[in-house]
Structure 1
Amino acid sequence: MDCIAKIRRIMARGDITEDDILYDAAVRNLQTMSEATQRLPKELKSAHPGIPWTEISGFRNILVHNYLGDIDPVAIKSVIEEHLYPLELAMHEMLDSSAEKQKVTALREASRRVMERRAGPSHKSGRHRIPL
């Protein structure tokens, strides 16, 4: 998400098709963002079939290894303008979903600990709880 925010700030500063510094900064952040998407769990990506995950990975390889020689700044600008927002939405949904799962897991763990305390020490410890 940091890369997406940086790309938005870069785009707000000027036209990457006319400024080499902005272009380089945008490409670097696209590389980082594309690489980060490769590390996302498959189950998170499968929940967002509208995002072209394989193409993002291929795009990263093109950017990093510069397979095509000089990459056209207009093409980079087009990718940002057309594809960044849907990816950003998917990432927000993933983060929200992940945060919700973490909350549920934490609640389950807390509940399990409370139940263990109520039940007393386990029989494995060799101690037995004496009901009062």
Structure 2
Amino acid sequence: MLRDPSAYLNDIIEAAAAIEDATDGLNGETYGQSRLIRSAVEREFIIIGEALKVISRRWPALFASIPEGRQIIDFRNLLTHEYLNVSDRLVWGAIQVDLPTLKAHCRDLLQELNPG
């Protein structure tokens, strides 16, 4: 059975919340010192990228309304296939800058898809 786009948007929101929980109270330096936290965060970003990839293929109009969608999919590809090129500074920047915006966009879209 195919999942609807709301399920994928929820996956993104939940993964973003997990990243926020894992990094709460940390700064870039302390983030970089914990392999366990870095691994957890990168895994959640991979989930976000996969969900966006599915949305892009199945619901292109919905995907077009997520401005940072392509960038996050590219980031997922970097994490998955080019892990040697992943810098902690890059991931920390994505957490601080891109993640809150993505989460807000997905919440808005979810509300549009499921009003009330």
TM-score (norm 2): 0.76
Residue in structure 2 matched with residue 63 of structure 1 by the alignment: 79
Larger radius of gyration between Structure 1 and Structure 2: 1
Is residue 90 from structure 1 mapped to residue 105 from structure 2 by the alignment? yes
Answer whether contact 1:34 1:60 (CA < 8 A) is retained.
yes
Once the two structures are superposed, what CA deviation does each residue of 1:26-46 show, in whole Å capped at 9, x if it has no partner?
A: 011011111111112211122
- Asked if structure 2 preserves the Cα contact closer than 8 Å seen for 1:16 and 1:26, the reply is no
Structure with bigger RCO (C-alpha 8 Å, 6+ apart): 2
The Cα of 1:22 is off from its aligned counterpart by 0.6
List alignment gaps of at least 5 residues for structure 1.
104-132
Identify the structure with the greater helix proportion: 2
Task: Show the 5 A alignment for 1:77-116.
Answer: 77-100=92-115
Output the aligned Cα RMSD. 1.7
- Distance in 2 separating the partners of 1:9 and 1:53: 22
Q: Which residue of 1 aligns with 2:10?
A: none
In structure 2, list runs of 5 or more residues that go unmatched.
Answer: 1-12
Match of 1:115?
Answer: none
Q: In structure 2, what is the Cα distance between the partners aligned to 1:71 and 1:34?
A: 15
Percent identity over the alignment is 17
> In the alignment, is residue 36 of structure 1 matched against residue 54 of structure 2?
no
